[in-house]
Amino acid sequence: MTEPEFAPADAGSRPLWLVAQGDDGPLWPEGVECAFAKASGFAAKPGQICLLPGEGGVAGALFGVGKPATPADRPARERFTLARAAEGLPEGAWHLAGVPDSYNLAHGALGWLFAQYRFDRYKKAEPPRARLVCPAGVDREALLAMAAGEYLARDLINTPASDMGPADLEAAARDLAARHGASVEVISGEALAENFLMIHAVGRAAGPGRAPRLIDLRFPGDGPAVTLVGKGVCFDTGGLDIKPSASMLIMKKDMGGAANVLGLAETLARLGRAGGLRVLVPAVENAVSGDSFRPGDVLTSRKGLTVEVNNTDAEGRLILADALAYAAEEGPRLLVSMATLTGAARVALGPDLPPFFCDDDAVAEALYQAGRDHADPIWRMPFWEPYEAMIEPAIADLDNAPSGGFAGAITAALFLRRFAEGAGAYVHFDIYGWQPSAAPGRPKGGVGQGMRAILHALPRMA
């Protein structure tokens, strides 16, 4: 994994002034000669750069950050505008010489680190050569830890299933554990058929070389009893209810929930805050073979509830259910699941705003505020009790895919909640885990969602 980095403080950096827009034009920084910038048409629009000439070349630069958001809690159209400076400035080290009062310096510096990410496992990809000296007044180690967790999540999601099957996901979890002194237990293959029948049923068709498994990480030390569960479907064909080929093109990302919880664990461990943390990842490939589970099958979960399979392409909730039941047996104070679970969530909120579900108002408010305050937007949706009947079929306790298509994200969340009973508070995130087109600090491909919201809400939640 590539390490995020700031430029050394003694790197001989050039000055970069961040310039906001006022009602009558740019709010020029004090002491900066602005005649050249005016003549160049610099208007301080978000992402606009003006290089300032000096003896022998570029002496510094101005960077536009636009007008402050109004009202203050309205999200800006671009989340990490300063990341454009990383892409657009000449090579070398840069330091922030002037920042508008309203500018969030930590967000800007984090976005710059995010912009340095490149996935270069299969093709050489040069990162931007402009480096930022860590600004005074921000928590350098926290920013580097958050960027490292994001890098790990992106790497895992971006790796194709040929190199990121269940065994490879286990190896990534073991690497994380080795870096931070965590323990790992894995139940795999036919051993799952004893107590984790739904994980086994979904993953058995992939064959022994890509056998399903349940990965269980525990971090030593005292801390709040927090368990993270991430969906690890390393590739999803849809099973016998097979997807159209176009819908399989980015199904390597169907382990995005696992990638996110592992990335969050990486950040927490680097910050010394992983004591007592548990991470569970049910890792499978939803393949097609003579051993595939079938529409109409009735599976018995670890909790004892029976589940009628009405769509083999709704496999994520099946493997999560067994893992959640296992986690809930310990009675954690906080239980969180993250999964690329439903298309309904994307229809409702799009790829950039993942919904989360939580019955505890205090926990939900802590998450929402942390997401808003730390450039990691999320949106609360309800566990809507009147829809419970929709997940109760005639011949089993539960239905994994109610007919009709209404409220798909809610019915999936209600299904999962049945298996989280015993936890103090339960939160479910229905993430996308993919950036469809490049944005500042977020290249096209795998992306973390909800990780920083959870990170910063944890002190209040747990």
Residue percentage of the chain with pLDDT more than 90: 92
Which H or E element spans position 149?
helix 140-158
243 is catalytic: yes
Q: Quick one: which of 264, 293, 443 has its CA closest to 367? A: 264
Other beta carbons within 10 Å of 275: 14
Q: Write out the DSSP string of 84-117.
A: HHHHHSPSEEEEEEE--TT--HHHHHHHHHHHT-
Can you give the residue ranges of every domain in the chain?
A: 14-138, 145-461
What is the structure's pLDDT at 74?
A: 66
pLDDT band at 71 (very low <50, low <70, confident <90, very high): low
Statement: residue 126 has pLDDT above 70:
yes
Statement: residue 239 has pLDDT above 70:
yes
What is the structure's pLDDT at 68?
A: 78
The CATH homologous superfamily for domain 14-138 is: Leucine Aminopeptidase, subunit E, domain 1 (3.40.220.10)
> 233, 199 in Cβ contact below 8 A?
no
What is the structure's pLDDT at 376?
A: 97
Place of tokens 């050394």: 8
Residue 207 CB partners (closer than 8 Å, separation 6+): 287, 289
Q: Quick one: which of 183, 260, 254, 181 has its CA closest to 215? A: 183
Catalytic member of 218, 243, 333, 372: 243
Statement: residue 426 has pLDDT above 80:
yes
Cα-based distances in Å from 259 to 89, 109, 168, 229, 352: 31, 23, 12, 10, 17
What is the structure's pLDDT at 368?
A: 97
pLDDT band at 73 (very low <50, low <70, confident <90, very high): low
Calpha distance 316→237 (Å, rounded): 12
- DSSP assignment, residue 72? T
Partners of 228 in beta bridges: 279, 336
Q: Quick one: which of 331, 303, 429, 301 has its CA closest to 377? A: 429
Class of domain 145-461: alpha beta
What is the structure's pLDDT at 153?
A: 98
Q: Per mean pLDDT, which range of 11-15, 227-231, 245-249, 327-331 is the poorest?
A: 11-15
Partners of 442 in beta bridges: 439
303-336 pLDDT, tens per residue? 999 999 999 999 999 999 999 999 999 999 999 9
Catalytic member of 213, 273, 317, 418: 317
10 Å CB burial of residue 388 (0-12, 13-18, 19+) is middle
Stretch 367-386: mean pLDDT, rounded?
97
- DSSP assignment, residue 4? P
Calpha distance 164→169 (Å, rounded): 6
Residue percentage of the chain with pLDDT more than 70: 99
pLDDT band at 98 (very low <50, low <70, confident <90, very high): very high
Calpha distance 356→221 (Å, rounded): 29
What is the structure's pLDDT at 404?
A: 87
Other beta carbons within 10 Å of 141: 11
The answer, yes or no, to whether the previous bond of 71 is cis (omega within 30 of 0) is yes
Q: What is the mean pLDDT of the chain?
A: 96
443-462 pLDDT, tens per residue? 999 999 999 999 999 999 87
Statement: residue 101 has pLDDT above 90:
no
What is the structure's pLDDT at 76?
A: 76
Q: List alpha helices for 213-306, DSSP H.
A: 256-270
The beta-strand segments (E) located in 88-231 are 92-98, 130-132, 183-188, 213-218, 226-230
Statement: residue 196 has pLDDT above 60:
yes
What is the structure's pLDDT at 70?
A: 61
What is the structure's pLDDT at 78?
A: 87
